[in-house]
C-alpha cells in the first residue's frame, strides 16, 4: 500500500510538471499569436496602448506684434522701464482699481533689484516683457552677441525675480529691433512687441498732453506705451487715472498682445 501511494505521488508530480510546462508554452504561443484569430479559450494577452505622441511646440512668430489677443474693440496697456519702487505700486493700484491687465516691459537689473515688485505684478495677473539689460536704443547697430546678451541676461533676471513666471514678450529699447534680435527672442519664447501709440510720457509733456496723445492716436492701433520707470512718473500715474475710466466709457476692453 505504501509503495502504491508513493507511485501515485510520483505520477501526480509528473502530471503537475507537465501542466506547468504546457501552460508556459501555451502562454508563449498566445502572446505571439494574439490578434491573429486564436481559438476560443486561448489565453488572451492585453495589447499595450501606443505611446502618446508629444504635443508639438508652437513656434513664436518673428513679426512684431501690435494686435490684441481678444480682438474687437480693445487696447493693450504696456508699461516700460520698471519696476520702480515708487511708481510701479501706484500704477498697479490704478490697474487694480479699474480691473485692467497690462504688460510690464522690465529692465533686467531693475527686476533683479526689486523682485518683490516683479512678483506683485505677476500675482495681479499681468504679463512680463523683456526690455533688455541696459536699455540701449542703438542695439540695432550692435553685434549679434551683444544683442543676445542684452536679451537673454535680462530674461533670466526677470524670470528669476518673478519666481518662475515666464517672460512672454520682448520689446527693443526705442524700437531698435533687428532680424537677429527678433529671432533670439522668439527662439526663447518671447514675442517681439511693438506699440501703436507712444504717449511720450517720458518727456513729461503734462498730464493733459499724455491724455490728448492717446485720444488723438487711438486710430493708429491698440497698443499704448506708458512708463513706470526711468524717471519721475507722476504725470503718467495721473493720466492713467483719467484714461482708464475714459477708455471704458468709450466701450474699449483691455487685452494682452497676441503671442501666436
Q: Which residues are catalytic?
A: 80, 227
Q: Residue 128 has which C-alpha cell?
A: 512680463
Residue pair 130/189 in contact by the 8 Å Cβ criterion: no
What's the Cα-to-Cα distance from 123 to each of 81, 94, 120, 193, 244, rounded to whole Å?
19, 15, 5, 22, 21
Angstrom distance (rounded) from CA 28 to CA 204 = 83
CA-to-CA dists, residue 260 to 62, 66, 67, 182, 237, angstroms: 10, 12, 10, 14, 31
Q: Give the strand pairing for 253-255 and 127-130.
A: unpaired
CA of 21: how far to CAs of 16, 41, 201, in Å? Answer: 9, 18, 87
Sorted by sequence, the CB contacts under 8 Å of residue 81 that are 6+ apart come out as: 105, 106, 107, 110, 131, 135, 202, 227, 228, 229, 230
List Cα–Cα distances, 161 to 13, 62, 96, 158, 169, in angstroms.
73, 26, 21, 5, 16
Amino acid at each position: 500500500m505504501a509503495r502504491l501511494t508513493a507511485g501515485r505521488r510520483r505520477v501526480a508530480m509528473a502530471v503537475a510538471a507537465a501542466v506547468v510546462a504546457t501552460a508556459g508554452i501555451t502562454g508563449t504561443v498566445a502572446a505571439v499569436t494574439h490578434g491573429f484569430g486564436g481559438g476560443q479559450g486561448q489565453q488572451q494577452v492585453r495589447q499595450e496602448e501606443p505611446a502618446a505622441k508629444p504635443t508639438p511646440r508652437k513656434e513664436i512668430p518673428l513679426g512684431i506684434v501690435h494686435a490684441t489677443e481678444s480682438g474687437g474693440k480693445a487696447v493693450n496697456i504696456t508699461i516700460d522701464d520698471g519696476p520702480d519702487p515708487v511708481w510701479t505700486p501706484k500704477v498697479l493700484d490704478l490697474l487694480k482699481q479699474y480691473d485692467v491687465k497690462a504688460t510690464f516691459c522690465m529692465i533686467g537689473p531693475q527686476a533683479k533689484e526689486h523682485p518683490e515688485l516683479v512678483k506683485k505684478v505677476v500675482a495681479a495677473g499681468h504679463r512680463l516683457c523683456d526690455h533688455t539689460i541696459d536699455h540701449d536704443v542703438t542695439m540695432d547697430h550692435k553685434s549679434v552677441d551683444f544683442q543676445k546678451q542684452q536679451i537673454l541676461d535680462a530674461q533670466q533676471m526677470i524670470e528669476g525675480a518673478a519666481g518662475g513666471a515666464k517672460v512672454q514678450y520682448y520689446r527693443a529699447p526705442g524700437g531698435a529691433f533687428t532680424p537677429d534680435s527678433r529671432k533670439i527672442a522668439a527662439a526663447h519664447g518671447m514675442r517681439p512687441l511693438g506699440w501703436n501709440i507712444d504717449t511720450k510720457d517720458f518727456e513729461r509733456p503734462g498730464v493733459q498732453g499724455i491724455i490728448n496723445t492717446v485720444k488723438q492716436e487711438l486710430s493708429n492701433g491698440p497698443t499704448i506705451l506708458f512708463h513706470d520707470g526711468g524717471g519721475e512718473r507722476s504725470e503718467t500715474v495721473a493720466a492713467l487715472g483719467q484714461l482708464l475710466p475714459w477708455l471704458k466709457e468709450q466701450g474699449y476692453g483691455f487685452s494682452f498682445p497676441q503671442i501666436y
